[in-house]
A and B are shown apart, each in its own frame.
Chain A
Amino acid sequence: MIKARITVTLKNGVLDPQGKAIEHALDGLGFAGVGSVRQGKVFDIEVDGTDRAKAEADLKAMCDKLLANTVIENYSVAIT
């Protein structure tokens, strides 16, 4: 069993109104000095097998086909 964590984040230059709202809320809670907040998504995925290279290729394909919208999002795959 291979465990992986996929992180999907908005590309630079893509406006993130949710991140902005969170930033303001943190400021309202008194956390000074929060420069910026960008919201993203995390997927923890378990893949059968032991072939890490194949798993990584499959996970990247999953990102390209479904988990990320590559028009607006970047992704990274970390196998743990």
Chain B
Amino acid sequence: MKSAVVLLPGLNRDRDMIAALTKISGTAPVTVWQTDTEIPDVDLIVIPGGFSYGDYLRCGAIAARMPVMRAIAEKAEKGVQVMGVCNGFQILVEAGLLPGALMRNDHLKFVCREVKLRVENVNTSFTRGYAPGQIIRSPVAHHDGNYFADPETLARLEGNGRIVFRYAEGTNPNGAINDIAGIINERGNVLGLMPHPENLIEPAHGGTDGRALFESALGIAA
């Protein structure tokens, strides 16, 4: 299966994401620049983390209005898998491809540490490689990961299994409502999450808990 990584000025986790996808799939992902209006035929489009446009205005706000995002929205409508990690999640939310908003961490500090995540829904193409309720480790590094949604949206997310990852064992690092770390769209092909699974995919990282996410999305049997 083929993948693409979106490049925007100010992202800094693109190299890690490209390395992870290359390592796991055996093929380097194609890269797509912010002004590209066409995305090659791929099975997975990833928006990596970082600080696109210096987090000006709101995290992800400017990036979400770049031409490449229209192309991504079209691909998502066709059912192509789209994953946004950290700033990528913020961009997907700002672009309206996922509901809610990511606000400043409740303690106002940048957080860079490891958290525990509970895999809440394994019936998605991104998480089928995990066991239901499995607790996994994952690094986080962000200043604005405090997920917020209005009560109606939250009820819809909770009721339809669209909260895919939740901070577990008291490790919520940012005050996110209902410990939400990652959500999926209604159709189940657009996933956004604050943690960085790409940084825990080989023993040299100190663990491989993030690997199944990429193996699932890329159709690689674990």
A72 and B103 form a contact (CB under 8 A): yes
In the complex the two chains form, what is the Cα distance from A17 to B107 in whole Å? 7
Number of interface residues, chain A, beta carbon within 8 A: 11
- By a CB distance below 8 angstroms, the chain B residues around A65 are 65
Closest to A65 in B: B65
Chain B's interface: helix, strand, loop or mixed, by majority?
loop
Interface size classification for chain B? 10 to 19
A66 and B61 form a contact (CB under 8 A): yes
B150 at interface by CB-CB < 8 Å = yes
B94 at interface by CB-CB < 8 Å = yes
B106 and A15 form a contact (CB under 8 A): yes
- By a CB distance below 8 angstroms, the chain B residues around A14 are 103, 148
B100 at interface by CB-CB < 8 Å = yes
B70 at interface by CB-CB < 8 Å = no
Mark each residue of chain B from 118 to 140: 1 if its CB lies under 8 Å from any CB of chain A, else 0: 00000000000000000000000
- Which A residues are closer than 8 A to B by beta carbons? 14-15, 17-18, 21, 65-67, 69, 71-72
